Chains A and B, each alone.
Chain A
Amino acid sequence: MRSCLQKSRIDDYLLNRMDESERTGFEQHYFDCAPCFRALEKRDLVLRAVKAAGSPVLAVPFESPMSRGRRFLRPWMAAAAGAFLLAGVLLGPGLLRKPAAWIPPTGDAVRGGTIEAVAPVGGMPAAPAALEWRPLGEGVEYAVTLSGPGVDWSGRTRETRIALPAPVRGALRPDTDYRWQVKAFAPQGFFMGTSGPQPFRIGR
């Protein structure tokens, strides 16, 4: 058996939103109508519980419109979104990384030992008279190169130092970047190691 009163009317009564005549009519009705009185009692219990519970029970944390949208996500949607995010995390750094600066190929593979460069390295007060490095072994032949704007020189020696010819030295300009490199070769001619490119700059 269903209540013949609308539930909104029951709420209006319980929340004191009726005037005197409406309230009297409503009360006379539920005195005569058992289903309506049962509906009224049920609604009253909910209202009393809400009032007794108060905000601590009913407070809902603020939800942004975006998080409200999450309620409508189906499981497969969430799974697809998760897979997409995972792919982004794994591939993203590779896709977003800045391309490496292009370095002209030298034809050298860096292998073997490393030669420690001594001078020149970094800033120099004047054009260097020689290039110097640490020895890599006995009987080693060193091939040295120096390059930069307007300069492209190379030389060979069995020492751990090589003097720059006067024309090369004279070609070095202040406030200009240059690089030099030394490679070591065994007596049989095979490659032993390199210093790697060593930048230097001549100050004014």
Chain B
Amino acid sequence: MRIRKPRLDLDEVVREFRPKIGFKVRRALGARNPDWEDVTNEVLAQAVEKIRAGEFRGDSTIGTFIYTITVRRITDYIRRKTKVLKFVPEPDTPDTPPEHAEKDQELKRMIAALATLKPQYKEVLNLYYLMEMTREETARRLGLSPAKVSERVNYAQKLLRRKMRR
């Protein structure tokens, strides 16, 4: 019996997984690490190569397949970097590349939107996200129920998205 290999649109794979791989790599290496984009590209190149070589047989989802490659590549990077750092000082963080300017702009607009929130939303974001209190701690501090805290955080997010669209 012949096993039918799943047919994948590689452009679609790259389009869908680049942000996911980038997100995971940034979280693992730190958003200020200038190498995160190189590592992301290496993961994508390796994934495409393996798919072309027929190494993805459909035993797992394509997401799990690419996730496994990502985690291995991150581990390699950290191992290699640890060896290098024994002898070489860390280079300065370069200026923000132009392709990241849009992301930075988005962050700036979000910060501006935060400033316009009503105090009841600011105080819950301050305790829950900035001070990293748990939902229960935040609830106790504000005299609310934990469910109400979640509701306020979710509504604050909705308000922020709405303000950013204006």
Interface residues of A (CB under 8 A from B): 7-8, 11, 15, 27-28, 30-34, 37, 40-55, 57-61, 63, 71
Residue of B nearest to A38 (CB): B19
Interface string of B65-86 (1 = CB under 8 A from A): 0110010000000000000000
B45 CB-CB contact with A under 8 Å: no
Instruction: Assess whether B126 is in contact with A28, with CB atoms less than 8 Å apart.
Output: no
Interface residues of B (CB under 8 A from A): 16-17, 19-20, 23-24, 31, 61-64, 66-67, 70, 106-107, 110-111, 113-115, 119-120, 122-123, 125-126, 128-130, 132, 135, 150, 153-154, 156-157, 160-161
Instruction: Assess whether A8 is in contact with B23, with CB atoms less than 8 Å apart.
Output: no
The majority secondary structure among interface residues of chain B is helix
Instruction: Assess whether B107 is in contact with A31, with CB atoms less than 8 Å apart.
Output: no
Instruction: Assess whether B114 is in contact with A50, with CB atoms less than 8 Å apart.
Output: yes
Instruction: Assess whether A53 is in contact with B150, with CB atoms less than 8 Å apart.
Output: no
CA distance A49 to B64 in the complex (A): 30
CA distance A58 to B117 in the complex (A): 9
> Which residue from A40, A46, A53 sits with its C-beta under 8 Å from B157?
A46
Smallest Cβ distance from A20 to chain B, in angstroms? 11
Smallest Cβ distance from A17 to chain B, in angstroms? 8
> Which residue from A30, A44, A45, A53 sits with its C-beta under 8 Å from B115?
A53
Number of A-B contacts (CB under 8 A): 93
Instruction: Assess whether A46 is in contact with B129, with CB atoms less than 8 Å apart.
Output: yes
Instruction: Assess whether B130 is in contact with A54, with CB atoms less than 8 Å apart.
Output: yes
**What are 11 A-B contacts defined by CB distance under 8 Å?**
A11-B128, A15-B129, A15-B132, A31-B67, A37-B19, A37-B23, A46-B110, A49-B160, A50-B125, A50-B126, A54-B130
Residue of A nearest to B103 (CB): A45
Instruction: Assess whether B16 is in contact with A34, with CB atoms less than 8 Å apart.
Output: yes
Instruction: Assess whether B23 is in contact with A40, with CB atoms less than 8 Å apart.
Output: yes
Instruction: Assess whether B107 is in contact with A46, with CB atoms less than 8 Å apart.
Output: no
Residue of A nearest to B28 (CB): A27
Instruction: Assess whether B119 is in contact with A60, with CB atoms less than 8 Å apart.
Output: yes
CA distance A44 to B150 in the complex (A): 16
Smallest Cβ distance from A30 to chain B, in angstroms? 7
Chain A residues near B135 (CB, 8 Å)? Answer: 8
Pick the 9 closest A-B CB pairs, nearest first. Answer: A32-B63, A31-B63, A49-B110, A58-B126, A50-B129, A31-B67, A60-B119, A60-B123, A53-B111
